[in-house]
Homo-oligomer: A and B are copies of this chain.
Amino acid sequence: MEGLNSQPANNRRMTKVFKALADGTRQEILQLLEEHSYAVGEIVAKFDLSQPTISRHLSVLKEADLVIDQRRGQNVIYRLNDSALAASMRQFFGRFRSCQEVLR
């Protein structure tokens, strides 16, 4: 079953991205980061979840290259990876005619 290498590396990347997006909390985090950057503690304060849980969600988003983290003193600041998000969108949906009509 592992001999199935017909699946392009692109699909594996898209799978990682979609897995990251397939969670309500992570979707909300992304929309939060659309406003501006946030420290982890600030994000935690916006949700009814423990800090480790948020930290893991952020880790998943980071693994998918959808956010970027940066140490700033004691804090770790997370910001949206705008370009990667747009690139992912094009990369996958561009394969479909109906979506191409909607893409620039």
**Closest residue to A15 on the B side, CB-wise?**
B24
Residues of B within 8 A of A102 (CB): 86, 89-90, 103-104
Stretch at the interface among A37-45, A70-78, A92-100: A92-100
Cβ A93 vs Cβ B89 within 8 A: yes
Where chain A touches its partner, the secondary structure class is helix
Range of interface residues on A (Cβ < 8 Å): 35 or more
Contact B101 A103 (CB under 8 A): no
Enumerate chain A interface residues (CB-CB to B < 8 A): 1, 4, 7, 11-12, 14-15, 18-19, 21-24, 27-28, 30-31, 34, 48, 80, 82-83, 85-86, 89-90, 92-93, 95-99, 101-104
